[in-house]
Chains A and B, each alone.
Chain A
Amino acid sequence: MSQAALKHPKVNNHIRKTQADRVFDIVIYTIATIMTLLALYPMYFIVIASISDPNQVAQGNVLLWPRGFSLDGYRHLFSMSNLWQGYLNTILYTLVGTIIMLVVNIPVAYALSRRDLVGRGLFTFFFIFPMFFGGGLIPTFIILNNTFNMIDTFTVMVLPFSVISYYIVVARTFFQTSLPGELWDAAQIDGCGNLRYFFTVVLPLSKAILAVIALWAAVGHWNSYFNAMIYLRSPDKYPLQLVMCNILINNEMAATAMTGSAAADINRKANLIKYGAIVVSSLPIMTMYPFVQKYFNQGVMIGALKG
């Protein structure tokens, strides 16, 4: 859809540009350049600070390129077993959680997209209502804790919050707009049931939406810390983001009790480790993103259509 504007050359290429339009273009491209730099600089700074001498960073000498090249931060990171345990946990939660989300949400979206589903309005309401109203944190916690005994389990990280109304809406819109109704009619005449039709016809035709939902779910799991903070107790189950929270926010490594130059030195080293930890934890998504971005954009656009 976004390609449409690109393929057709704009008419004003043929008509001579006016003075005002030329000024307009210069202003637009200048602002856009500044914004691009502003968007990228903080991330660039993290990277150069993570490979510089911590004293140079603290003095404000590292602004445009690394100074006093050192890999001490990363060397220390490799010895932090809780970080790598967190990494491993996050990979597990992300893999299992994403699969569960696909298995749970996609079939619902398909069923709701079928006009001949009796009770369609009711089921749609059932799945959409929680987007606008919910029990809230405490009742959810009590149900998970007292009724299901799920506190501090692997399950709590992947199962209870796997039904996402928004994913269902987006996928339902996709099925409604991209699967021709005649296909189901034809399949029915050949004696194909709903389940076989879904697995052998619908799913192979819907790789785009599967990719979109899988990517959204994976990024969501990778970046989430809230559920882990509420529902996990033992540190060996912590996902990466909770470990990062302890490093970055709760200052696990900083010398808060000490004073003087020793403390300052330790704090600088702690900062170096923080920069490195940010790089290490964000790298997978950041490097993957440019390659899969078209799926993300597609998904947002499908969601924008009213279904």
Chain B
Amino acid sequence: MEYRRTVGGKSTWEHIRRNWGLYLLMLPAIVIFICFTYLPMYGVIIAFKDFRPAQGIWGSQWAGLKYFERYFNSYMFTNTIVNTLVISLYTLLVTFPLPILLALMCNQMYARRFKKVFQVSTYLPHFISTVVMCGMIIMFLSPSSGVIPKIMGLIGVQTGDLMGNANAFSSIYVWTEVWQHVGWDSIMYIAALSSIDLQLYEAAEMDGANKWQKIFAIDIPMLVPTMVTLFILRCGSLLGVGFEKVYLLQNDLNIARSEIISTYLYKMGLKSNQYSYSAAIGLFNNVVNFIILILVNGISRKISDTSLF
């Protein structure tokens, strides 16, 4: 940008002309993005219309805020918002700090071969697909043939039908999430830790610091910028709990606690063809997420000088 200011208007055009190749390199992605990402952003106006496929997006009649009001007034509104928030806050509370602990621990291991095995095995579950993961959860928890009730039975604990227990849903969701992703999510922190200057540790040892003191005085403060960045990103999707896993784990018995915004939206939109209603729910969801992201980002910039933009 600075370059432009010095060379002025005419040379700017000259510059564009000389770099035409760069624009050509971007062309395919621009076309794809306009067609399949930006056009749907325009299509979101059906949330304010009575969308009829035959009339098209523009031709359909305006409906004002009818569909938003319908969602806000329906009993599913509180239900889906509460379920979504419970699952996402629970997930954030558990899956945000655990990778940090794991990285701190990994950083304390000096047996190279052991560390390698530890890392590869904790990363591995990350590559299991959501479908297979949910299949595994359902099979493992099955009261008649699942391995977890069997193991719990050995130590004398009766679990009952966990998948049919609505109150257990969020815990099942969160702790399987931990199993699958905790290792992978720690990579970023491990990278940050391995870039710490070793002289810091040497100096701390000269002053007689033990391992705990080194962790609290050096490791954790060095991780703060990474933590803040990842935390902001996570907050930006508070209402955006992943559709896939919840949808696959849902059943008639746990639906009271497992119907979240995205699954409700999918059923309304594509199963019962209420396009406008569903688009309104989606838009509401996206706007709230966006506002939270901007807020958290702004607060973080004030307090810690770390922000996304």
* Interface positions of A (Cβ within 8 A of B): 1-6, 8, 10-12, 15, 18, 20-21, 24-25, 28-29, 31-32, 35-36, 38-40, 42-43, 45-46, 49, 57-58, 60, 63, 103-105, 107-108, 110-112, 114-121, 123, 126-127, 130, 132-144, 146-148, 159-163, 168, 193-195, 198, 219, 222-226, 230, 241-242, 244-245, 247-249, 267-268, 271, 274-275, 278, 281-282, 285-286, 289-290, 293, 296-297, 300-301, 303-304, 306
CB of A32 within 8 A of CB of B109, answer: yes
B306 nearest CB neighbor, chain A only? A306
Please report the number of residue pairs spanning A and B whose Cβ atoms sit closer than 8 angstroms: 300
CB of B130 within 8 A of CB of A136, answer: no
Q: Is B89 at the interface (CB under 8 A from chain A)?
A: no
If A143-B39, A304-B191 touch, whether A63 touches B151 (CB-CB below 8 Å) is yes
If A60-B153, A104-B29 touch, whether A139 touches B44 (CB-CB below 8 Å) is yes
CB of A159 within 8 A of CB of B127, answer: no
Residues of B within 8 A of A222 (CB): 129
CB of B194 within 8 A of CB of A5, answer: yes
If A60-B147, A105-B29, A274-B135 touch, whether A225 touches B244 (CB-CB below 8 Å) is yes
* Interface positions of B (Cβ within 8 A of A): 1, 3-4, 12, 15-16, 19-26, 28-30, 32-33, 35-44, 46, 51, 53, 56-57, 102, 105-112, 114, 117-118, 120-125, 127-132, 134-136, 138-140, 144-145, 147, 150-151, 153, 179, 183, 187-188, 190-195, 198, 201-202, 205, 210-212, 226, 229, 236, 243-244, 248, 262, 265-266, 269-270, 275, 278-279, 282-283, 285-286, 289-290, 293
Q: How far is the CB of A146 from chain B (nearest CB, A)?
A: 6
If A39-B121, A108-B25 touch, whether A225 touches B33 (CB-CB below 8 Å) is no
Q: How far is the CB of B228 from chain A (nearest CB, A)?
A: 12
CB of A29 within 8 A of CB of B109, answer: yes
Which of B29, B39, B279, B289 lies at the interface centre, i.e. has the most chain A CB atoms within 10 A of its CB?
Answer: B29
A306→B24 CA distance, assembly (Å): 26
CB of A195 within 8 A of CB of B24, answer: yes
A245→B124 CA distance, assembly (Å): 21
CB of A28 within 8 A of CB of B108, answer: yes
CB of B46 within 8 A of CB of A138, answer: yes
CB of B132 within 8 A of CB of A31, answer: no
Q: How far is the CB of A22 from chain B (nearest CB, A)?
A: 10
A141→B118 CA distance, assembly (Å): 43
If A20-B210, A21-B210, A163-B29 touch, whether A42 touches B140 (CB-CB below 8 Å) is yes
Residues of A within 8 A of B236 (CB): 132
Residues of B within 8 A of A141 (CB): 269-270
Which of A5, A222, A247 lies at the interface centre, i.e. has the most chain B CB atoms within 10 A of its CB?
Answer: A5
A and B contact pairs by CB, cutoff 8 A, 16 listed: A29-B114, A32-B118, A107-B28, A110-B25, A114-B19, A116-B15, A127-B29, A133-B41, A134-B286, A137-B278, A138-B275, A143-B43, A193-B21, A249-B134, A282-B127, A285-B127
Residues of B within 8 A of A247 (CB): 135
Residues of B within 8 A of A133 (CB): 41, 286, 290
Residues of A within 8 A of B192 (CB): 304
Residues of B within 8 A of A300 (CB): 187-188, 191
A40 nearest CB neighbor, chain B only? B121
Q: How far is the CB of B195 from chain A (nearest CB, A)?
A: 6
> Which of B20, B40, B212 meets A140, CB within 8 Å?
B40
> Which of A11, A45, A127, A245 meets B131, CB within 8 Å?
A245
Residues of B within 8 A of A110 (CB): 22, 25
